[in-house]
Amino acid sequence: MQKIESQILAKIKKAKRGTLFFTNSFLNFGNAKTIQKALERLVNSGEIDRVATGIFTRPQISKKWGKISPKMEDIVAAIARRDKAKIVPTGSYALNRLGLSTQVPMNYVFLTDGAGRMVKVGNFTVKFKKTSPKNVSSVGEISTLVIQALRTIGKDFVTKEEILKIQEILKLEKPTKLEHDIRVAPAWIREIMKPALKQIK
């Protein structure tokens, strides 16, 4: 067990602090049960932190702030890479990321073409909601957030001020990605996005 712990810790320390690891990141050192026990001992000894069930990190340390927890988007992206799945943020999280809402969500919902699941991260809950590939076909980070934010607000409730702000934000998107995402967006959202593309092309 000590040998396995040493191997796991050596692998973690080779990566930069804040890198996320999963239980199955270490299966070449032993079976799943043995790896889980070794990780548990490393958590108890303070060598690593458990971010969520089956997710671990050697946290970054700030002289000013102390231990820095991984960002939610980094955790979600790591889960998506592990599952080889496409994910798209929805709801209040998309609104918050775009600066259209100051509300910090306690529950995060992501559409995915992978398996649906719930993940508990500290006091937060992350839900991966299985959907069709079409609903996760956008490619631009900013334009993807815009599409989902507008879906959350609704066609009949989006204000002129929000539309103008969204169009300004969309100017930061890469033209090729914005052009692609306009094609896959719902018709009413497409009309809001088009002016931004004309201004950056």
Instruction: Please say if the pLDDT value at position 1 is more than 80.
Output: no
Q: Decide: helix, strand or coil at residue 105.
A: coil
Mean of the per-residue pLDDT values of the chain:
94
Q: Rounded CA gap, 89 and 95, in Å?
A: 10
Q: Where do we find the tokens 């089956």?
A: 54
Helix (H) or strand (E) holding 156: none
Mean pLDDT of 191-196: 97
- What digits encode the pLDDT tens for the residues 103-151? 888 889 999 999 999 999 888 899 999 999 999 999 999 999 999 999 9
More confident: 2 or 156 = 156
Give me the phi and psi of 24, to 5 degrees please: -75, 0
Nearest to 9, CA basis, from 36, 49, 41, 42: 42
Mean pLDDT of 184-198: 96
Return the CA Rg of the chain: 20
Amino acid at 37: K
Amino acid at 148: Q
- What digits encode the pLDDT tens for the residues 51-74? 999 999 999 999 888 999 899 889
Mean pLDDT of 72-85: 92
Q: Decide: helix, strand or coil at residue 140.
A: coil
Contact 197, 175 (CB under 8 A): yes
Q: Rounded CA gap, 4 and 44, in Å?
A: 16
Instruction: Please say if the pLDDT value at position 178 is more than 90.
Output: yes
Instruction: Please say if the pLDDT value at position 37 is more than 90.
Output: yes
Contact 83, 96 (CB under 8 A): no
Q: Rounded CA gap, 55 and 70, in Å?
A: 11
CA pseudo-torsion sign 31, 33, 39, 41:
negative
Mean pLDDT of 165-172: 97
Residue 38's pLDDT is what?
Answer: 96
Q: Rounded CA gap, 163 and 150, in Å?
A: 9
Instruction: Please say if the pLDDT value at position 20 is more than 80.
Output: yes
Residue 197's pLDDT is what?
Answer: 94
Helix (H) or strand (E) holding 31: none
